[in-house]
Chains A and B, each alone.
Chain A
Amino acid sequence: AQTVTQSQPEMSVQEAETVTLSCTYDTSENNYYLFWYKQPPSRQMILVIRQEAYKQQNATENRFSVNFQKAAKSFSLKISDSQLGDTAMYFCAFMWGDSGGGADGLTFGKGTHLIIQP
């Protein structure tokens, strides 16, 4: 089974700074997708960004971007110009592709609690 590791249980930065959250995963397959989800105190799970493993280009969504290093099995999230509303738990997640051979569903890391200080 694949595993997803987030090595930073908690991070704290000042508003407007840039912060990078780390994620590594373990798989021997080539067909998969990676995601970052945000969970604010409201408990909602909100999709931040999605990466297709077969695409070399790193995904970007406004202030959020990823550094996808397929050979190193690394998928970090960079948040630029951080805002107070970015305070949340952030989860990295792995999903098999359609022919990936694994079960459907997401495999999550344990999360990083990001605190943006005013």
Chain B
Amino acid sequence: GAVVSQHPSRVICKSGTSVKIECRSLDFQATTMFWYRQFPKQSLMLMATSNEGSKATYEQGVEKDKFLINHASLTLSTLTVTSAHPEDSSFYICSARSGGTDTQYFGPGTRLTVL
């Protein structure tokens, strides 16, 4: 149980385009989803927290207009990187947590490369 999927697993795009990454909880309802960014050889940095049906809460320094997060249902959250640039190239990982629990379950990650 507690499986989280991400799609796509890998994406390459041109500078200036937008990319959407999906995060799904497959066998539980995720009242809260988290989006992280991980640079090579570094730890995970939380970008934002989203609760189903409400606006995401962004961490300090994360541009909300650039990283659009939507959590429209209890099993799906999306992260859209708008007008992507090479410096946005990174490994993006989502996690999901159901209400009343302390454990986050992580997706397999999405490798974004912006040319």
The answer to whether A and B belong to the same complex is no
Residues in chain A within 8 A of chain B (CB atoms): none
